[in-house]
Each structure stands twice: as C-alpha cells, then as structure tokens.
Amino acid sequence: MRPVLYIPVLAALIPIALVFGIQDDPERTNPISAEAEMLKPAILPVTQGFTLALTQDEAGRPAPLLVTNLSGAEISAIDLTEHGAENTKDLFGAMRDVGERQLAILFRQAQEPGNADLTQSYGFDGLLSVAGSGNRHVASGTNFVEHAEETQSQSVFNFPKFGQPTPPVTEVTHAPGVLLDYEVELCMLFDRSIATIDDFDEAEKGLFLCGDFTDRAVLSRMIDVDNFDSGSGFSDAKSGPDFFPTGGFLVVPNDWKSFVDNERIVTFRNGQLRQDARGGEMILDFRQLTERVLADATSTRFVYQGRAHTLIEDRRIARGQVLMSGTPEGVIFMPPSWRQMTRGIIRYLWSGAFLNGASGYEGVVNSFIRDELESKRFLQPDEQITYVSASMGTVSVTVVGDDGDATGLQTASSLRVEIEWNDPS
C-alpha cells in the first residue's frame, strides 16, 4: 500500500482510538448544591411534636420509646411500657396508650436535673426499624428538580417497591454485575389506611429517614427511556434484598407540612457529602403524592419479577405501607456520555450482535454497563453509606461482598466525628 493510502486509514482509526483509548473519568460525580452550614442532628422540640423509637426488651418483646436526647450515636429515651403503653411495634398505638399530654410531661421531666433515672441510653445499633414489617411500599421517582435534571426525567412518577425494611444500622450486599447506587429519602407512615384525601388530612402522620438502593444495571436494561411513568424496571431495580434501610426515629410532628419543608436530609459516602436537600424542595409534597397515588390505583402496568401489579391494593394506601418522597440530586448514576455511546455502537457493529437480532440500543446499554462495572464508580464492598437528617436520626449502611465479608468497617459511632466536622461547603 502506498504511504498516501495510509492517510484515510489513519483518519478512520484516530477517532476510534480516542473513543477506546480515553476512558471516562472514574471519579466523575454529579454536582450538588450543599448548604454552607454543617448539619447538626437534634431531637425535635416537644412543642413541635414527638420523636418515638422502638427496641426490644430483655424478653425479646418490642418496647416503644419516647426519645428525649441525642448525643452522637446514642440516644436517651423513656421506655413507654413503664407508662401505660403495651409491648407493641405500633408506635401510633403507643402514643394513644400514654396520651399526648403525658408524653409532653415525660419529655419535659427528662430535661430536668435529677431525673436521670427516667431515661435509658440506647445505641442506634440497638434500635429497630420504625417502618414496620410491610414488604410493599409506594416509591416516588424524580420528585426533586435537580435529580430530575441529572437523570433527564420529565416528570414525577410512582411505582411499587418491594422488600422488608432494615434497621438503622445495617448492611447491603454488593453482588457481581450490580451497579449499586444510593438514595436518601423522607418516608411517611399513617395511623390508618388512606382511601381518600380526607383520610390523609385526618390521619396522624409519622416521618422517618430512609434510603433506597438501586441496581442501575437492571434499571438501564429495563427502563423505558421515553416513558418513566410506565414503571418498567423500577420495581425490579429497587426491590433487592436489604435495599430499604430505614431509620430508628418516627417523628410525629404537630404540623407535618412545616416539618417536611424544613427537614434537611444528607448522604455521606465514606464520610464525603454526596446529597444535601430539604423536604421543601420536593416537586409534589406528600399530600399531592397521595392524590396522585389514589388516582392511579387500578393500572396494572407495574411489572415486578414478571408479574403485573397495581401501585396499591384495594385502592388504598394500607396502614403500615410507606409513602416515599423521592431523592434529591447527587446519586452516582449519570446518563451515558457521548464517548460511552460511541463505544457501544462500535462494539455492537464489531461483535456482529445485530446478526443475532440484538438492537443498537441494547448494544449501547450493555456497553455502558460494562464500562461502569470496570470503572468501579458505583458502590463497592467495604464502603459506608450514612444517611443523616436534622430531626429523624441517622441510618448507617455497610456494603458487603456477596460472601457477607467486609473488612475495615466503619461503625456508626466512628463516622460520627467525620460527619460532625465535615464542611459541606
């Protein structure tokens, strides 16, 4: 071949070399808008509502608690079974057993000198989930403006999330082939089933901190990018084992709207701030989400493990069923870059996948997942995810390998100092 003939060959190879030779930065992250002031978790003043928790007594029975103080990874709390409550996981029922007036008296007495014997100390690792034992929840997608922008979503949507809630100090498993992503959320429980918006208005409402883990590989393969509201892929991607870590505090505010609007929630990945928002940044508040959910009670478009489901059963949000807020900006997932898409097209053509009936879209998605697995940008074993809120406590999650092993783990107490002194600005 004459030297001059090499020129078009080289011209064709240079773009390919750029596409494959220059990888996307494995450290790249979504930008976040963080508040300048450090988050200092505290207990909601009793004039604004009650903070309840749940533990087990020496006999293994559930014991409802009234939380009176928070110090690092420990709380001071009053065992409500000593003041008229039953041994129950129903914290709304425990409130009724004791009475709001008596709860307020107990809280104030616990703040007075000389009443140290009224409370006991509990670590977060000794608290149970306040989310109950339900395994079907109502999740919300792209309900914060910035998160909608970073995932290129056009609207808020809902889908059913399946799985048992886990306690505030817990683990999540990283399995081969999984692109494990974090999300922090506010969650709401009701003291009754919600079949109408009047039920919502009349119900006692409790708020707690929660997380929502996602397998982005499953979601990337199954999602309908033209219609997120189809529900395709979301239940399967977000219903993995231990994908629903939940807090140890149930806050029952006097004014739920004001509480949610002002409540700040953040995510730390290995001590580094990655999400920071207030509930008031939600596009749809919990009342508006409830209206939307009730209006979408009969569609069976939601598929999970190959079976069609409605968003809720019997046209109502069941008592004990969790309503989730959606998450703010700062997740790990980023849509494929132009370089990743180009690599996908080249791999698709080079491999001859089109001869086997695979679409170009599938080729790009599979190539994107391959790139992300190799980059290890998503959560890996031994990582620590810590969700923190202004008034709803902390959730600490350790990522373990599929053999259950993790080394060099950071506990909730060891992360306390990092969180306390990490400057979000």
Angle between helical axes of 91-98 and 100-111 (0-180°, round to 10): 90
| 3-class state of residue 154 by DSSP | coil
Please say whether the beta carbons of 150 and 334 come within 8 A.
Answer: yes
Residue 374 has pLDDT above 70, yes or no: yes
Q: Among 283, 258, 306, 248, which residue's Cα sits nearest to residue 65?
A: 248
Cα–Cα distance between 309 and 268 in angstroms, integer?
A: 34
Give the DSSP letter of residue 134.
Answer: -
Instruction: State the pLDDT confidence band at 404, using cuts at 50, 70 and 90.
Output: low
Rounded to an integer, the average pLDDT of 394-406 is 83
User: Can you tell me which residue has the tokens 């030779």?
Assistant: 21
Residues facing 137 on adjacent strands: 161
For the record, the structure tokens of 92 come out as 């709304």
Cα–Cα distance between 181 and 157 in angstroms, integer?
A: 19
pLDDT digits over 91-150, tens only? 999 999 999 999 999 999 999 988 888 999 999 999 999 998 889 999 999 999 887 787
Please say whether the beta carbons of 158 and 293 come within 8 A.
Answer: yes
Tally of CA atoms within 13 A in the half-sphere of 113 that contains its CB: 0
In 22-119, which ranges are continuous DSSP H helix?
A: 91-98, 100-111
Contacts of 312 (CB under 8 A, 6+ apart): 138, 160, 293, 294, 297, 318, 321
pLDDT digits over 181-227, tens only? 999 999 999 999 999 999 999 999 999 999 999 999 999 999 888 88
Query: Does 424 or 174 have the greater pLDDT score?
Result: 174
pLDDT of residue 18: 40
pLDDT of residue 337: 84
DSSP H or E segment with residue 346 = helix 338-351
pLDDT digits over 26-68, tens only? 678 898 999 999 999 999 999 999 999 999 999 999 999 999 9
pLDDT of residue 23: 58
In 47-152, which ranges are continuous DSSP H helix?
A: 91-98, 100-111, 145-150
Please say whether the beta carbons of 215 and 355 come within 8 A.
Answer: no
Residue 5 has pLDDT above 80, yes or no: no
For the record, the structure tokens of 420 come out as 């306390």
Please say whether the beta carbons of 410 and 22 come within 8 A.
Answer: no
Q: Among 205, 204, 263, 282, which residue's Cα sits nearest to residue 391?
A: 263
Cα–Cα distance between 354 and 343 in angstroms, integer?
A: 15
Rounded to an integer, the average pLDDT of 9-23 is 43
Residue 25 has pLDDT above 90, yes or no: no
For the record, the structure tokens of 162 come out as 């399946």
Distance of CA 282 to the CA centre of its chain: 14
pLDDT digits over 315-368, tens only? 999 999 999 999 999 999 998 888 888 888 888 687 766 666 667 777 888 889
pLDDT of residue 364: 86
Question: Mean pLDDT of all residues in the chain?
Answer: 87
pLDDT digits over 289-299, tens only? 999 999 999 99
pLDDT of residue 154: 73
User: Can you tell me which residue has the tokens 């069976």?
Assistant: 300
Residue 271: is it exposed, middle or buried by C-beta count within 10 angstroms (0-12/13-18/19+)? middle
SS3 breakdown of the chain: % helix, strand, coil, rounded to 5? 35, 25, 40
Cα–Cα distance between 111 and 117 in angstroms, integer?
A: 12
**pTM, rounded to two decimals:** 0.89
pLDDT digits over 227-286, tens only? 877 778 999 999 989 999 999 999 999 999 999 999 999 999 999 999 999 999 999 999
Question: Torsion angle, CA of 299/302/308/311, rounded to 10 degrees?
Answer: -60
Please say whether the beta carbons of 56 and 383 come within 8 A.
Answer: no
Residue 322 region, left (φ>0) first, then alpha (ψ -120 to 50), else beta?
A: beta
Contacts of 253 (CB under 8 A, 6+ apart): 44, 48, 49, 205, 207, 259
Rounded to an integer, the average pLDDT of 164-183 is 96
For the record, the structure tokens of 414 come out as 């060891």
Looking at residue 355, its amino acid is L
No. of H helices and E strands in the chain? 12, 19
Q: How many angstroms separate the most distant Cα atoms in the chain? A: 97
| Cα distances (Å, whole numbers) of residue 405 to 21, 73, 111, 131, 274 | 35, 24, 42, 27, 25
pLDDT of residue 397: 98
DSSP string, 203-254: S-EEEEEEE--EEHHHHHHH--TT-GGG-TTHHHHH-STT--BB-S-EEEES
